[in-house]
Structures are given as structure tokens and as C-alpha cells.
Chain A
Amino acid sequence: MTERSLSRGPARRALGGAALLAAAIALIAAGRPDRGAPSAASPPAAERSSCWVLVDMDSFFCGSCLEHLLAFSRAVPARIQEDRVRGILILGAPGSPEAAGRRGQIVRAKWQGFSRANDIRFPAAVDADGAFAGPLKAGFGVLVFDARSAAVRGYPWPVPRGGIEEILRILVD
């Protein structure tokens, strides 16, 4: 990835280079998350813009901390959430493999209930190997793969209105 691809914007925090690079690699390697087969008109997965929402599961113990996430989901239309947005559930201290496995089950159950109760439409997966812990620690809440400019953009919480509009433009282009 070139330096040019890590673009900056007014709504974005200065990028934590290594952290964002790691996330970008994971994001692009993962491609478009599957939910049914793509239509014939869909471009290849790696050419579609997509958005990853980093969910710090420890923030679930802080009611106010969830507000940013809820505001973001309210601002993004359901169709876009389902098609282009994926959540990454990030665990705190990993502990033993057994404890991490149990914690993964717990956070999945919490996410399912939380997203159902709050009409969040994007699915989420557990960051089992801590791949997104770096970007989270660097302050990013949302990562967007902009297929048009081949860039990954990072946004800290709370994502301001202008940032959300920018993300929506990227995702629908």
C-alpha cells in the first residue's frame, strides 16, 4: 500500500500508519463479506467499497459509549448496512484460548441482542486474532475501503455528520 492510499481528510484523525495498514490488509484480504451470491451486475468483491465498524466490546459497559455507534447506524440506510457494512467485535484482554472462546460466545450473544433491539442491520464478527485492536487503539471507530481511490480511510468516534455523508458517498459510488 502506498502513502497516497492512506489519504487524510478533515473528518479523519491523523492516521496511525501501522495500525491502519494492518486493518487495510485484513479488510482487503477479506473482500466483500458474503450474504448471498452477488448479482450479475455486482463488481468483483475487491472493487466494491465497504465499511467496517469497530465495536469495542468493553464499551458495552458504558451506556454513553454506545451512543456513537447507535447514531452511526441510524444515519446509514438499512440497505447499505446490510450490503456494505460489517461490524468487528473487538475483545479486551484476550486471556487464555478457552477464556477467549467463551468471551467470543458472550460478545456474539450480546451483539445479536443489542443489534436486534436497536435495529442495527449490519452483521458482525468477532476479531478472534486481535487484527483490529491496533486501529481501535489508534482511535479509529470506522474504517472505509474506498474502491474508487483504492484507499482505506479511518474515522474516529463520534463520526460527525460530514464524515457520515462522506462514507455514504463512498459506499454508494
Chain B
Amino acid sequence: MTLRRTIAFVLPVLVAFPAPRAGAAPPGGVKIEEVLAVGGLGDAALLQWTGVSVDAAGNIYVLDALDFSLKKFGADGRLVKKAGRKGQGPGEFTAPRLLAGSGSRLYATDQNVFGIYEFDSDLRYLRTIPCPGLVFALRALPDGTLALAVVGLPASAKLLRMDGQGRLLSEFPLAEATDAGLLMDSAGFDLDRQGQIYIAYLFRDRVEKRAPDGRILWGRSCLGEKKAATTNVQNLVLPKETCFKDVAVDGRGHVLVLGGKLSKHPSRDVYVLDGDGTPVATFVLPEPSHCLYVDGRNFLYVRADEGLTLKKYRILYD
């Protein structure tokens, strides 16, 4: 197995793999209230969604890994349009993964491609923006730039800022320790309105806030300093379990961190921190999810039914 194939294989599986369901969600200082379900068992609209983005009008864009497509749903959850198919041509996917949107543009990744596909809001493919590694987290910013976390070759995790042409604007390493193994510095991230960056490491019990230039403003554990197990494959240190799966910043500036396998309710616990890193609450999703997404109107989107359903929730703070 080549290094690139190893990265492309291990990372999505660990992040996307469904964790077993646990008990009912205990109440906390933060609650969620379901407002919409897209897809579902009786509806073939979604098969296994991976990435999601929501525009200002509430339209929901979703990548689907099983029919290799990009789908657009109206704010009412009805399928409006579907584009893409399996392949390596323009607008085609082999393994669709991440989605981000800004204005009338959508940016999608394929786990087998070192690049970012750009689409318009009618799902027309526009071009492929090159990038120097496998993208494992992606955000499109209001100023038209892209922020992305990548594992390059050799395997060093970095957070990059690029313009819409793929020109590098800035970068800083995510690695904290030089002896970290392959993928151990992979992380999800999100940005607040001031451009400050919140990072949740997939395989380390660490959440950080960084300044736009990469300076660490604070860092903390959410899991009691747990360590993710690793394994050795062909002399590569590979993680076996996840600490966190994703992070999102809501409209109030709260940081929502989705716990991974090492959390009490795997892939369901959401740790809520304030902008200074102080814990505010923990709430539990009804079903395991691989990601968190908060739209511009403060609605939370997560996975249900192993990707057959996308659930939209209102976030309620006590």
C-alpha cells in the first residue's frame, strides 16, 4: 500500500465509521431541537452523505459517497438537483468527501484527489483548484479564500489559506511534536468571524484556538487526557481510534466539538466551549455523526441513519 493510499484509506474510515449507539441523551445546558430531516429510510434522496454546506437562503448542498454525487436540497428538504457521477472527469467523483460553500460557490473534495473541485450553486462544475496534499478539513470564507487542513507528502499536517486560484496565502503547521506519527496531527477546524481558528485534533485529546497567523492562544483536553491507540503498519504509526471528529463555531461564538471513539457516547457527545476554551456544556446527539456543521443562522446539521438522513437542529441554550 502506498503512503498516499494509506492516508486516503485510513483517515476517512476512522472518521466516518459508525460508532455503536448508546443510551438516551442526558439533558445539559445546551439542547437541540429537530427542525428538519432530509432523506431517510423511505426516501432514496440520500444514500450516505459525507459533506454538507448551507447557503444564505437555507438551501442544503450535500455530497453523497454512494452515488458519487453533489445534491442540492431546498430549505424544505426537497431534492432540487443532483450532479456528478463516478469517474475522474470534470465534475465526477471517485470518493466525494468534504464540502464547503461561500456566496454562490461550492468547493468539494475527493479523497483520492489532491485538489478541490469548484461548482456554482446550480451544481455546475467550474474547475479544479490544485492543492499540495490530501485535504481533511475545508472551509470557504466570505472573502473568497479557502482555508484547508492538509496532509502533504511527506506527511506533515498543515493549515493553509489559499485564494480562489489556489495560490498559497499563508500556512502554519498543525504538528505540535516532531515525533508525531503519520496522520496523528490530522484535525478538523473552523473559524470565527474574526478569523481565529479552532482546531480539534482527530487523534489527540486536544482542542486549540489559534490566531490567524497560527499562534496558539489556548489549548485544552476535553476527554481527560486520553490517548488514542495506534498501530504499526509497514513501519508507519497509524491511529486506531479517534478523539474528536469535527469542530464548528456557532453564531454566538461557542465552539462545538464532536467527540470520537474515546468519548463517553462515541460520535455523539458534543463538547461546548466558549471562545476562551472554558467548558459550557455537553450534549449528546441522538445518533452517531461523522461531522458537525453550523449554518449562518445557527442551525446544526448532523448525520443520522448512517448517512441516509441529514438532520437539522435548532440549538437552544439554557
Contacts and interface: CB of A to CB of B under 8 A. Distances in A.
Interface of A: 58, 60-67, 70, 92-93, 95, 99, 103, 105-106, 109-110, 112-114, 116-118
A64 to B, nearest CB: 6
B92 interface: no
Contacts of A58: 17-18
B289 interface: no
Q: Is the interface of A mostly helix, strand, loop or mixed?
A: helix
20 contacts: A60-B48, A60-B65, A62-B16, A63-B94, A63-B97, A64-B95, A66-B66, A105-B41, A106-B41, A106-B306, A109-B47, A110-B48, A110-B66, A113-B67, A114-B47, A114-B67, A116-B44, A117-B47, A117-B67, A118-B67
A63 B47 contact: no
Contacts of B252: none
B41 A64 contact: no
A63 B96 CA distance: 8
Interface size class of B (residues with CB under 8 A): 20 to 34
Nearest to A107: B306
Interface string B15-28: 01110110000000
A61 B112 contact: no
Contact of A61 (B8, B17, B67): B17
A62 B21 contact: no
A130 B257 CA distance: 35
A63 B44 contact: no
Contacts, number: 71
Given A95-B21, A109-B44, A110-B306, A62 B13 contact: yes
Contact of B16 (A61, A66, A114): A61
Interface of B: 5, 8-9, 12-13, 16-18, 20-21, 41, 44, 47-48, 65-69, 86, 94-97, 111-112, 305-308
Nearest to A96: B21
Contacts of B307: 110
Contacts of B44: 109, 112-113, 116
A61 B111 contact: no
Contacts of B12: 61-63
A92 B13 CA distance: 14
Contacts of A112: 44
Nearest to A58: B17
Contacts of A67: 94
Given A95-B20, A95-B21, A63 B65 contact: yes
A62 B18 contact: no
B112 to A, nearest CB: 7
B8 A64 contact: yes
A38 B13 CA distance: 42
A64 B9 contact: yes
Contacts of B18: 58, 61, 92
